[in-house]
């Protein structure tokens, strides 16, 4: 029970199913706001993973292979 005026109760969602169910109940405006937040969240997660991989040296092997292919004239179009 909330004892403070104008407060909102927060329900912890602990499973993917609970989150999915909650998302289906969002209004179009709330869904757009959630979508924008989630896209930014995913971008941050990706950037952080790339940064960790770069710092750990995981990308060095890929870079070496790319340089070798470039020097040998082996290139692929994107």
What does the pLDDT average to over 36-49? 97
The pLDDT of 32-36, averaged and rounded, is 97
Mean pLDDT of the chain: 86
pLDDT greater at residue 12 or residue 19: 19
Determine the average pLDDT of the residues in 34-48. Answer: 97
Q: How far apart (Å, rounded) are the C-alpha atoms in residues 13 and 64?
A: 44
All structural domains of the chain with their residue ranges: 26-71
CA angle 36–11–26, rounded 5-degree value: 40
Tell me how many helices (H) and strands (E) the chain has.
3, 0
- Positive/negative CA dihedral, 57, 59, 63, 69: positive
Confidence at 1, pLDDT banded by 50, 70, 90: very low
Tell me which of 11 and 48 has the higher pLDDT. 48
- The CA-atom distances, in angstroms, between 12 and each of 5, 18, 52, 61 are 21, 9, 30, 42
Query: Which DSSP symbol is given to 15?
Result: S
Residue 24, pLDDT above cutoff 80: yes
Task: Name the residue with higher pLDDT: 75 or 24.
Answer: 24
């Amino acid at each position: 029970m909330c004892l403070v005026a104008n407060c909102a109760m927060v329900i912890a969602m602990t499973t993917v199913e609970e989150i999915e169910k909650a998302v289906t109940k969002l209004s179009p405006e709330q869904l757009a706001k959630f979508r924008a937040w989630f896209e930014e969240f995913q971008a941050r997660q990706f950037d952080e993973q790339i940064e960790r991989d770069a710092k750990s040296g995981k990308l060095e092997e890929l870079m070496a292979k790319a340089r070798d292919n470039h020097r040998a004239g082996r290139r692929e179009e994107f």
